[in-house]
Amino acid sequence: MRTSINVIPECPIDEIVELAVHAENLGFDRCWVYDEGLATRDVYVVMAAIAAATSSIHVGPGITNPYTRHPAQTASAIASLDELSGGRAFLGIGAGGSLTLDPIGLARTKPLTAVRETIDIARSLFSHNLCSYEGDFASLANAQVGYGRPNIEIWLAGRGPKMLALGGATANGVMLDFIYKPHLGDAVARVRAGGPAQLCYSTAIVTSDEDLDWVRPHMTYRLVDSPPEVKEAIGVTASDVDAIRSAMAGGLEAAAQHVRDEWILPFVIAGSPDEAAAEIGDLAEQHGFGEFLIPLFDMPDQHRYLSRVGPALTIR
């Protein structure tokens, strides 16, 4: 199974590059890079820096959106990254969220259409052919990108049934991020209903109380946005949601004080490294996951964390 990291470039770029180099040395196969707009360093600058400092790890946005750049500009940037890296680039696409879009006044309109047309346009331009395209969201007029590989992989990340089916039908792969574990089978079935895309499963590995406390702030918005049936299953009430929402005004750390351990555990891989390895292996066999992706946010020592959880992923 392929193993990957997902980094969010909130810290200086040289620190992100050092982390990617460390991951490559540990044997990780891919480095996804969050695109959170003004909240982080520019995703393409960061990816280019990672590509220049590494030799084997593959690099791509994890994920970018259709709104902040024209899909053709995104395709051109990924093809340029592919040329720079010697064929190690991939495109990760999703509908985007409020953290990225709100500060620059962009609405998340027709997300299914926007993602579908971005995939169509990128795939057309990756072919190196002269392309015209007339969509509801974006268009091309005799456009061409003559660099990068013609078979650059496109990955979609999403949660809704229509978005997951779109990924199965149009993308090379679908990334399932922090899905409530009892519902993983349903999410996989929705992808499979669309087509035979590869599957990547992404969640945190928790091997200590320190890890649990690191994940806690990042479960706040995930719990608030969870479907009603998930909230009911894990015992999150309307008053719990109100308490988390109200505390968010003081930041994620303040809101995290309202998140219980038992609400986190059904979303993550928890236990000793051996227990985590066994669970990941079981889930991969059960659902056909070909990749496991570890998200890295703002833990104090990401290098040490990667070295510690490496055995759970059978890092080569």
Segment 35-80, tens digit of pLDDT: 988 989 999 999 999 999 999 999 999 999 999 999 999 999 999 9
Examine the domain organization and report whether 147 and 14 are in the same domain: yes
Examine the domain organization and report whether 254 and 105 are in the same domain: no
Examine the domain organization and report whether 201 and 214 are in the same domain: no
CATH number, residue 279: 3.20.20.30
Examine the domain organization and report whether 103 and 245 are in the same domain: no
Confidence of residue 98 (pLDDT cuts 50, 70, 90): confident
Domain of residue 237 covers: 210-267
Note the pLDDT of residue 314.
63
Q: Which of 63-67, 247-251, 256-260, 295-299 has the lowest mean pLDDT?
A: 295-299
Q: Is the pLDDT of residue 295 over 70?
A: yes
Examine the domain organization and report whether 138 and 28 are in the same domain: yes
Segment 215-237, tens digit of pLDDT: 999 899 889 888 899 999 999 99
User: pLDDT averaged over the chain?
Assistant: 94
Examine the domain organization and report whether 125 and 88 are in the same domain: yes
Identify the residue with better confidence: 304 or 136. Answer: 136
Domain count, the chain: 2
Examine the domain organization and report whether 296 and 256 are in the same domain: no
CA distance 279 to 48: 34
**Domain ends where: 252, 267, 282?**
267
Confidence of residue 309 (pLDDT cuts 50, 70, 90): confident
Confidence of residue 252 (pLDDT cuts 50, 70, 90): confident
Q: Is the pLDDT of residue 94 over 90?
A: yes
Task: Name beta bridge partners: 205.
Answer: 269
Amino acid at 158: G
Segment 185-199, tens digit of pLDDT: 999 999 999 999 999
Identify the residue with better confidence: 304 or 82. Answer: 82
Examine the domain organization and report whether 280 and 170 are in the same domain: yes
Note the pLDDT of residue 316.
45
Examine the domain organization and report whether 182 and 198 are in the same domain: yes
Examine the domain organization and report whether 192 and 255 are in the same domain: no
Examine the domain organization and report whether 216 and 87 are in the same domain: no
Confidence of residue 312 (pLDDT cuts 50, 70, 90): confident
Examine the domain organization and report whether 117 and 242 are in the same domain: no
